[in-house]
Amino acid sequence: VSTRGWEVYPGSGAEDYFEPAVAITHSDGNPCTILRYVSSEQKDVAGGTETVINLKDDKYPVEVTLHYIAYPKENVIKTWSEIRHNEKKPVALWRYASTMLYFSASDYFLTEFSSDWAKEAQMSSQQLRFGKKVIDTKLGSRAAMHTHPFFELGLGQPVQETQGRVMLGTVGWTGNFQFTFEVDNVGNLRVIPAINPYASTYELKADEVFSTPEFMFTFSNNGTGEASRNFHDWARNHQLKDGQGDRLSLLNNWENTYFKFDQQLLAQLMKEAKALGVDMFLLDDGWFGNKHPRNSDNAGLGDWEAMKSKLPGGIPALVDAAKEAGVKFGIWIEPEMVNPRSELFEKHPDWAITLPNRETYYYRNQLVLDLSNPKVQDFVFGVVDNILTENPEVAYFKWDCNSPITNIYSPYLKNKQGQLYIDHVRGIYNVLKRVKEKYPNTPMMLCSGGGARCDYEALKYFTEFWCSDNTDPIERLYIQWGFSQIFPVKAMAAHVTSWNKRTSVKFRTDVASMCKLGFDLGLKELNANELAYCQSAVANWTRLKKVILDGDQYRLVSPYDGNHMAVMYAAPDKNKAVLYTYDIHPRYAENLLPVTLQGLDAKKMYKVKEINLMPNKKSDLDANEKTYSGDYLMKVGIHAFTANRTFSRVIELTAE
Ligand code: GLA
């Protein structure tokens, strides 16, 4: 039987000669696996139909089950695989793709998302030619620091926003992932999303099921705009934690105080949060540790008790102060990590991932806890559980993860180190599952020194993620543009800060207002006009957040194309829309083009109104307070761009 070509899940050792989906060295040493169709079934599941295909090797007792959930409304498919065997001894599993997809087109163009601290989601494109292109990470935790677990593929032409055949894909794995793109000898493309097999030969025992991460993908004949909206809808309907629910605006204290605060100052900031009009005050790093107080990033991680010197009344006093101020209270944790200078490390040095016989390398003075160890899982769960048991009114967590895995070696796994990268991530999911089960209604922000954790498995447990520590609004236009390719802005936290103070407070606020809005600056830095501006911007955001967070996003003008940017959100009933336009660095005597809108009802009439204006400022938008048909707005557009540098407008459109 020929096994060359288009097998849905090719095994190693046969005559395929390209990358296999699954590779097994059987217990007798044989490296060959050939899977054959056995049966398939379909069943209805929430939001769609699941197709299950059972495959079996006829010479070895190895079975693979392929799962595909098709969500017809959003045009998204979620797929994963399960590998099991019944051999007498364990087998060595060294490839375990989530799925294998084949494409046949004249040309293939890949858009990837490279990253670094403060430089997340940078888009770049290239043509895929014969051979392989691999995108992967070996960072273990904070795993997406250098590249994100998603990509775009243009078939026949590079991806474009409103036309062309495109496929968008993303793997739900908060650890080492790998995408392989292989153009074969006849010009077909294989796409293989997987856990990165690097240093991860997995010893699979009989009857143990190895479940791969889920891979989600969507396809559009109309470019990335439509494909992104497919993902946005699907995420809010089926994947993101509390995807249908509300989101809380907030004031964070990190960039305002860093580690320097006390109970009184925080109580003061809570009042400022109230005056600003946001829902919540979020206390960041630096509130814990007594024997090794957390006054800098070199001590205290692991000791999750309030620092008596700063916070004599502990968390209960903060919850009370928030109640008195009339805001909710949220708190920062980084529970998967430990500073060697901590009581936790003194007590349990073997809970940290560290290598024997080598000098220890510390990233941000910390080590990663060994989540493959169930005792460590209990401890990490306890960090959240203890805070919420003692303080049920704590309303929110910011869950950080600042270090990659260094000195990779698990004292717990002993001679099964090949499982560490994988079991560590599974251990994190065990903890997150317990947290979600016990506290289903507590929103949480996923943070990893910025946006180094941004995948759809983690987002089952988190309501949002922190896109980047870089809050320079110009950089944020690009970062948010990048993440929005895959994630709804409802899941993207954006804060107004003091980064790039050469830009106005209005510009910074308008950029953050396109996502889940927060502030991270001292309000005392603002003059009266600026503060009044922020208050009105918060009120507008709160009034319009249904449209912004739950509406359809249209990316109109890309910052990658030049000196401007425009994005809009339209309510599904097309009665309300919000348009954001930005001038970044217009050229001298540049021809300023009108912004043509999308997603409106051509037949409806819309009243155009510029909002988010500085106090005492009148709109100079030509179209302001005028009424146009949706048809006109989508074909002719409005002149919203200007020749000013770092200038922004927020425009509300209301159907009459
Ligand atoms: C990370 C986060 C920041 C902040 C600090 C605190 O860098 O990305 O937002 O919480 O940790 O140490």
What is the rounded distance in angstroms from the CA atom of residue 280 to the CA atom of residue 394? 10
Q: Which atom belonging to ligand 1 lies closest to the Cα atom of 447?
A: 8
Probe residue for ligand 1, chosen from 120, 257, 284 as the CB with the greatest number of ligand atoms within 8 Å: 284
Taking the centre of ligand 1 as the mean of its atom positions, its distance from the CA of residue 378, in whole angstroms, is 24
Position 14 pLDDT exceeds 90: no
Position 500 pLDDT exceeds 80: yes
Taking the centre of ligand 1 as the mean of its atom positions, its distance from the CA of residue 535, in whole angstroms, is 25
Which of the four pLDDT bands, split at 50, 70 and 90, describes residue 15?
confident
Taking the centre of ligand 1 as the mean of its atom positions, its distance from the CA of residue 401, in whole angstroms, is 9
For CATH 2.60.40.1180, list the domain ranges present in the chain. 554-655
Mind listing the pLDDT tens digit for each residue in 411-428? 999 999 999 999 999 999
Q: Which atom belonging to ligand 1 lies closest to the Cα atom of 449?
A: 8
Let me know if 31 is exposed, middle or buried by CB neighbors in 10 A (0-12, 13-18, 19+).
middle
Which of the four pLDDT bands, split at 50, 70 and 90, describes residue 1?
very low
Probe residue for ligand 1, chosen from 447, 465, 496, 497 as the CB with the greatest number of ligand atoms within 8 Å: 447
What is the rounded distance in angstroms from the CA atom of residue 86 to the CA atom of residue 63? 9
Taking the centre of ligand 1 as the mean of its atom positions, its distance from the CA of residue 500, in whole angstroms, is 18
Which residues are near ligand 1 (CB < 6 Å)?
A: 254, 284-285, 297, 332, 400, 402, 447, 449-450, 466, 469
Let me know if 276 is exposed, middle or buried by CB neighbors in 10 A (0-12, 13-18, 19+).
buried
Q: Report pLDDT for 16.
A: 81
For the chain, counts of helices (H) and of strands (E): 11, 33
Q: What angle do CA 148, 151, 152 make, to 5 degrees?
A: 155
Taking the centre of ligand 1 as the mean of its atom positions, its distance from the CA of residue 449, in whole angstroms, is 5
Which of the four pLDDT bands, split at 50, 70 and 90, describes residue 6?
confident
Q: Which atom belonging to ligand 1 lies closest to the Cα atom of 297?
A: 12
Probe residue for ligand 1, chosen from 253, 400, 496 as the CB with the greatest number of ligand atoms within 8 Å: 400
Per-residue pLDDT, averaged over 496-504, amounts to: 98
Taking the centre of ligand 1 as the mean of its atom positions, its distance from the CA of residue 410, in whole angstroms, is 26
Residue nearest atom 3 of ligand 1, based on CA coordinates: 449
Q: Where are the beta strands (DSSP E) in 122-230?
A: 122-128, 131-136, 150-155, 165-172, 177-183, 188-195, 202-204, 210-211, 214-220
For CATH 2.70.98.60, list the domain ranges present in the chain. 22-237
The residues with which 306 forms a beta bridge, in sequence order, are 288
Which of the four pLDDT bands, split at 50, 70 and 90, describes residue 19?
very high
Per-residue pLDDT, averaged over 531-536, amounts to: 98
Cβ-contact 177, 216 below 8 angstroms: no
Taking the centre of ligand 1 as the mean of its atom positions, its distance from the CA of residue 196, in whole angstroms, is 27
Taking the centre of ligand 1 as the mean of its atom positions, its distance from the CA of residue 98, in whole angstroms, is 32
Q: What does the mean pLDDT of the chain come to?
A: 97
Q: Report pLDDT for 372.
A: 98
What is the rounded distance in angstroms from the CA atom of residue 165 to the CA atom of residue 154? 6
Classify the phi-psi angles of 365: left when phi > 0, otherwise alpha if psi is within -120 to 50, otherwise beta.
Answer: left
Mind listing the pLDDT tens digit for each residue in 235-281? 999 999 999 999 999 999 999 999 999 999 999 999 999 999 999 99
Q: Which atom belonging to ligand 1 lies closest to the Cα atom of 469?
A: 8
Cβ-contact 135, 171 below 8 angstroms: no
Residue nearest atom 12 of ligand 1, based on CA coordinates: 285
Taking the centre of ligand 1 as the mean of its atom positions, its distance from the CA of residue 364, in whole angstroms, is 11
Q: Report pLDDT for 5.
A: 67
398: helix, strand or coil: strand
Residue 338 structure tokens: 């430990």
Q: What is the dihedral of CA 603, 605, 611, 616, to 10 degrees?
A: 160
Q: Report pLDDT for 562.
A: 86
The helix or strand, by DSSP H or E, that contains position 557, with its residue range, turns out to be strand 552-557
As its CATH architecture, domain 554-655 has Sandwich (2.60)
Percent of the chain exceeding pLDDT 90 equals 98
Mind listing the pLDDT tens digit for each residue in 183-208? 999 999 999 999 999 999 999 999 99
Position 499 pLDDT exceeds 80: yes
**DSSP assignment, residue 530?**
H
Q: Report pLDDT for 512.
A: 98
Which of the four pLDDT bands, split at 50, 70 and 90, describes residue 17?
confident
Residue nearest atom 9 of ligand 1, based on CA coordinates: 469
Cβ-contact 292, 261 below 8 angstroms: no
Mind listing the pLDDT tens digit for each residue in 217-247? 999 999 999 999 999 999 999 999 999 999 9
Tell me the CATH number for domain 22-237. 2.70.98.60
The helix or strand, by DSSP H or E, that contains position 379, with its residue range, turns out to be helix 374-390
Mind listing the pLDDT tens digit for each residue in 362-395? 999 999 999 999 999 999 999 999 999 999 999 9
Residue nearest atom 2 of ligand 1, based on CA coordinates: 449
Taking the centre of ligand 1 as the mean of its atom positions, its distance from the CA of residue 284, in whole angstroms, is 8
The pTM of this model reads 0.98
Position 3 pLDDT exceeds 80: no
Percent of the chain exceeding pLDDT 70 equals 99
Which of the four pLDDT bands, split at 50, 70 and 90, describes residue 4?
low
